[in-house]
């Protein structure tokens, strides 16, 4: 929506274990299990005009990630809401990306769970601005093998596979890696994937092989409201390559078109009409939310 904010807006702010401070000054002990093992979960929540968007589903997914990884939830939903709202408020009225992380805590290095308190870290940064070029020309993606583990529905910080897969895309001059497991699309390295075939919007079904994106869910609802046929079913590698449109969604990207895949044009090689309809519907919703 807007990322200019007022001149008094803080661009970045962190909160760690009870204290607000600049992100560069936030430190954790080296024995924190988030650092040692990637033993942690996280969320990324967009805030439009300083207001947290779709917070409740993000908190539900956080609770689910904590349950799967058996990390105790250190806060009630109300406490999370109070903390994140205060963090966003202190930053001002610009569009923000709120990051929160819960680690299993600090303990002598041993794989088994220690008896310790979770570490909580949060930060706000400006939401990345989506450029006119991204909207007019779309993104490029490569396809690659999904080399990740089998609990991709848990939003854990153990992201080395995602990091390597994204870098593979960057090394190939592309923006995103679209992942394939047993010949089927799972998701992007940091996004969910949609295709349009014959006017129908299709996204892989939510299971353990992909993150149940909050934006994905919202896009499905918006598509239904717009009268677009939507299906959650497997997408083969061949269908991906033959799709009329390909899109990726996330809390920081909303929904963006992919117009080049493995060096070839997707459909006509330009952002497609179904993407445009969804983008406009999503932007209208965000605008109305910010104006409330
Ligand atoms: N990532 N799949 C993966 C692997 C992701 O990392 C993300 C988002 C999504 C989209 O989920 P959501 O719509 O809830 O943001 C799907 C965030 C933005 C990140 O890691 O920065």
CA distances from 212 to 124, 176, 193, 199 (A): 22, 18, 11, 23
What is the structure's pLDDT at 10?
Answer: 82
> Dmax of the chain from CA atoms?
57
pLDDT at 17 exceeding the cut of 90: no
Distance CA 281, CA 287 (A): 10
Residues 18-49 have pLDDT tens digits of 999 999 999 999 999 999 999 999 999 999 99
What integer pLDDT is reported at residue 4 of this predicted model?
54
What does the pLDDT average to over 199-228? 98
Percent of the chain, pLDDT > 70? 97
Where is the domain boundary, 94, 126, 158?
Answer: 126
Q: Are 69 and 41 in contact (CB under 8 A)?
A: yes
Structure confidence at residue 290 (pLDDT): 86
* Domain identity same for 60 and 176: no
* Residue 99 backbone dihedrals phi, psi, to 5 degrees: -110, 135
| Span 112-146, pLDDT tens digits | 999 999 999 999 999 999 999 999 999 999 999 99
The answer to the question of residue 143 being in a domain is: yes
Whichever domain contains 34, its CATH number is 3.30.470.10
**Ligand 1 atom 11: the closest Cα is on which residue?**
213
**Is the domain of 107 the same as that of 137?**
no
Pocket of ligand 1 (CB under 6 A): 44, 162, 187, 190-192, 211, 213-216, 249-252
Residues 36 and 56 in one domain: yes
Q: Quick one: 50 and 76 in the same domain?
A: yes
Structural domain containing residue 281? 132-291
Does the pLDDT at position 260 exceed 80?
yes
If asked whether residues 169 and 107 sit together in one domain, one would say no
pLDDT of residue 2 exceeding 70: no
Please indicate, yes or no, if residue 7 is contained in any of the structural domains.
no
Q: Is 268 a catalytic residue?
A: no
Is 269 in a helix, a strand, or coil? Answer: coil
Q: Is 64 left (phi over 0), alpha (psi -120 to 50) or beta?
A: alpha
Is the pLDDT at 220 greater than 80? The verdict is yes
| CATH at 150 | 3.20.10.10
What is the crossing angle of helices 273-291 and 214-225, to 10°?
Answer: 110
pLDDT greater than 60 at residue 1? no
Q: Is the domain of 150 the same as that of 178? A: yes
Residue 186 bridge partners (DSSP): none
Q: Please say which residue of 59, 91, 126 terminates a domain.
A: 126
Q: Pick from 54, 187, 191 the residue to mutate for probing ligand 1's pocket: most ligand atoms within 8 Å of its CB.
A: 191
Are residues 225 and 146 part of one domain?
A: yes
| Whether 171 and 281 share a structural domain | yes
For residue 257, the model assigns a pLDDT of 98
Whether 40 and 176 map to the same domain: the answer is: no
Active-site annotation holder among 51, 75, 155, 268:
155
- The answer to the question of residue 176 being in a domain is yes
Q: Domain check: are 172 and 280 in the same one? A: yes
Rg (CA), the chain: 19
Do residues 95 and 56 make contact, with C-beta atoms less than 8 angstroms apart? no
CA–CA separation, 184 and 207 (whole Å): 13
pLDDT band at 223 (very low <50, low <70, confident <90, very high): very high
How many whole angstroms from 117 Cα to the centroid of ligand 1?
A: 26
Q: Is the confidence at residue 182, as pLDDT, over 60?
A: yes
Kindly write down the DSSP assignment for every residue of 95-162, as one continuous string: -EEEEEEEE--B-SS-SSPPS-PPEEEEEEEEPPPPPHHHHHH-EEEEEEE----S-TTS-BS--HHH
Q: Which atom of ligand 1 is nearest to the CA of 152?
A: 4
Please say if the pLDDT value at position 3 is more than 90.
Answer: no
Residues 109 and 179 in one domain: no
Q: Is residue 5 part of a domain?
A: no
Residue 135 phi, psi dihedral angles, 5° rounding:
-75, -35
Residue 3 is assigned to a structural domain of this protein: no
């Amino acid at each position: 929506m807007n990322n200019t904010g007022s001149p008094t807006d803080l661009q970045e702010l962190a909160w760690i274990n009870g204290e607000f401070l600049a992100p560069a000054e936030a430190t954790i002990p080296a024995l924190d299990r988030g650092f040692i093992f990637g033993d942690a979960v996280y969320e990324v929540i967009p805030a439009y005009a300083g207001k947290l968007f779709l917070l409740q589903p993000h908190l539900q997914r956080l609770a689910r990630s904590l349950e799967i990884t058996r990390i105790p939830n250190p806060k009630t939903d109300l406490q999370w809401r109070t903390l994140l709202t205060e963090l966003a408020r202190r930053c001002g009225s610009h569009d923000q990306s709120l990051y929160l992380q819960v680690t299993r805590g600090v303990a002598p290095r041993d794989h088994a769970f220690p008896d310790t308190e979770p570490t909580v870290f949060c930060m706000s940064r400006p939401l990345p601005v989506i450029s006119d070029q991204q909207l007019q020309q779309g993104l490029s993606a490569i396809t690659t093998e999904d080399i990740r583990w089998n609990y991709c529905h848990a939003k854990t910080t153990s992201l080395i596979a995602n990091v390597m897969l994204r870098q593979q895309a960057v090394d190939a001059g592309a923006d995103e890696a679209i992942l394939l497991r047993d010949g089927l699309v799972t998701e992007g390295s940091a996004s969910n994937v949609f295709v349009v075939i014959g006017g129908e919007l299709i996204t892989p079904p939510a299971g353990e092989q992909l993150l149940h994106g909050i934006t994905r869910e919202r896009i499905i609802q918006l598509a239904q409201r717009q009268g677009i046929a939507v299906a959650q079913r497997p997408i083969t590698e061949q269908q991906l390559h033959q799709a009329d449109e390909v899109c990726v969604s996330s809390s920081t990207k909303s929904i963006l078109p992919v117009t080049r895949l493995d060096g070839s044009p997707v459909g006509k090689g330009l952002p497609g009409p179904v993407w445009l309809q969804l983008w406009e519907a999503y932007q209208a919703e965000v605008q109305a939310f910010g104006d409330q």
